[in-house]
Structure 1
Amino acid sequence: MTSDIKKLIAIIEQQLDWGDSSAWQSRDFEILSQLIYDKTKVSLSESTLRRIWGRVEYKHLPSATTLDTLAQFAGFESWRTFIKQNTDKAPLIKTNILPVKQSEKLGINVTYLILTVVLIATGVVSFFIIKRSDPQINAADYKFSSQRLTNAIPNSVIFDYNAKNAPDDSVYVQQSWDPHTKTLVDKKMHQHTSVYYEPGFYQAKLLVGKKVVKQHKLIIPTEGWLGLIEDKPVPVYLNTQDFIEKDMLNLPVAVIKQKNMSMQPKPTYVKYYNVGNFRPVPLNDFNYCAEIKSGYKEGEAACQFAAVALITDSGPIIIPLSIKGCVSELTLFNVDRIISGKTANLSGFGVELSNWVKVSCKSTAKTIRYYVNDKQVFEFQLPANNVKIVGIWFGFQGTGAVRNIELKGQDKTVFKAF
């Protein structure tokens, strides 16, 4: 591994603040894979990340695409930009060394000896002081709750906290499992307000240093259907008449251009949400289906990436689709499992998305089964914990349409649209 790659890895580790990467587990690399995809829209598999982090022996250098993606995730425009900004070019400094007399050498040596003894003594004392005052963090000493201000998006959430017993000022409120949403707060205060720009299920956390002392579930709902075009830091929100038609959800390319959003060279990413508008459906007894169609395949949108997703009060279910030739870039999410097209056969999710495609999934006694055009293409074991479905969303690279949406729980229709 080159020194430049090591520098980039160190920057990412510092941003994540997950502790020593040698202690990371498989789940950490799965989460990192999703974080990278969320920010860059490029999928790097868990196995790829494990190779880069040296957890798997691999003699070849990462591809240019992989390096560009990691650099973009770290906040740089590209790998080349990162190299330019982080190349060490410190000039050599010439110094004029004057000859030192023997008596002066003796004095210098004595001075160094005294200084060394003082530093060692100071270090020993400091060690015992630090060791003796090593703080013990008791989660019971902290309080953390929240209240959202509206059912609309964007949505401000007021966090109430009590962290007065924190041993130092390293107190943070984190909006979700994503460490990029962490904010330093004053331990002497009791409230902090955050804005959520997209709906969904979040696990809000109160941290002292790197330790999570309190956390709770937080659902950010929508008022009916919400459509948006992804943009940073704030999405472009759509009026209902922009994307809701009589018999489908559909955002025409012309409307996207009216919003001053460019389709080239990087195509937009469009999402349709409906969260918190039906009773929660247990994951161990559900049936869900919808029909989708891509509405754009020009330039970099040639793969026609799309996603059909269920929001749960745990991890998400995300069913990815693309044309056959791009299934290697897909990532399938099943609450607590992530499967990459780099390491598994996801060819069943490769379809002709210029036509209507039926996507469905349902639970049996022990499994969740996934279907594309009524053909089973994958299955997972049900999670052991009690998980409930609280919302749905659809995503398209470029744009797309959705119809015939239906969610059932215990064979009864809970939600239906178009």
Structure 2
Amino acid sequence: MVKTMSILTATRAEYGLLKPVIQALREVETLDVKVVVTGAHLSPEFGLTYRDIEHDGIEIDEKIEMLISADTPAAISKSMGLAMISFADYFARIQPDLLLVLGDRYETLAVSLVAMNQRIPIAHLYGGETTEGAVDESVRHAITKISYLHLTSTEAYRKRVIQLGEHPDRVHTVGALGIENVLQEPLLTKEELEKSLDFSLEKPYALVTFHPVTLEQYQAEAQIEELLAACASFPDMTFLFTKANADAEGRVINRKIDAYCVQHEHAVAFTSLGLTRYLSAMKGCQMVIGNSSSGLIEAPSFGVPTINIGDRQKGRMQAESVINCEPKEHAIRDAIRQAQSPAFQEQAKKAVNPYGDGKTSDKIRTILQQVFDGEMDLKKTFYDLEVKG
């Protein structure tokens, strides 16, 4: 019997991770995979990145608008409301047997709440992780509690999901999809990348992505100014920026980056590079700078140093190729110098990535097939652990 499965994607980064899973699941004859697109994918301001999905030959079942063109907390709450209204109609119409979601964004929580109300089992990728500087922390744990099946990136995170009361039989360690992309995605040569970007990468360059730290309200402007001031201290380096996502205060970061690139020839910014160009740029860069999870998850597999700024990723597992620093100009400058040093470059090349072996999509496909072959009981029993002290 064919089962219907919805897969949600709302951002460029999320789709980049989900791509191999979507492709693997579409090969299963007993699954009708429906990719539903929302959020920043449909916004001209964020690059209309749904076109990347279509370019990859993946059929989009439906595009659902929900993003209000503002980045205040109130606007985000209103966007969540629009998502709930629209997805209520969508799920009522297609009635999927399971919804697969990834991560910890507000769009994902809103859609997951709708699925919960409509008795649709949820499979959640990447619960149990911690990012203490972002509201994503609370969103991630909330999605965990309304999900039926849990697919974690490491064994430590699997244990944390169980600690949240989820039964061990429904919690599986599958590794990080980012590692699979690093190992499997056909990458561009340096010359091909330069031609695609229409920008010279002859000098050593840094790949820079900086997002708002959502639990540090009204700090985004000051923090991006500190980062840009540090970049200005290295005129012999090139800085390749990818812009912030649709979080609160993301737009102020993007305006500052655009202004900096106009004034400095050694910098260029892109709304979205897409998966292939982004990983190709990461492979050839001297270092990754910012506060994106990709600096912690994908970059170590390339042997590339990462400068992780501030608290947005605080608590997440890290390789020895990561340098943590405060969001201050002098700290970022010192971190760049450390990352440039031959000793640290060598350390980064030898670093062991803690996020798996790159066979994640096959593991997810196997687990989901087993789940569909069995019985799903949404009446979850809280799995208690002994508490000492």
* TM-score interval, normalised by the smaller of the two chains: under 0.3
Higher relative contact order structure (alpha carbons within 8 Å, sequence separation ≥ 6): 2
**Greater per-residue strand proportion:** 1
Query: Could you say which structure has the higher helix fraction?
Result: 2
Q: With structure 2 as the length reference, what TM-score do the two structures score?
A: 0.26
TM-score (norm 1): 0.25
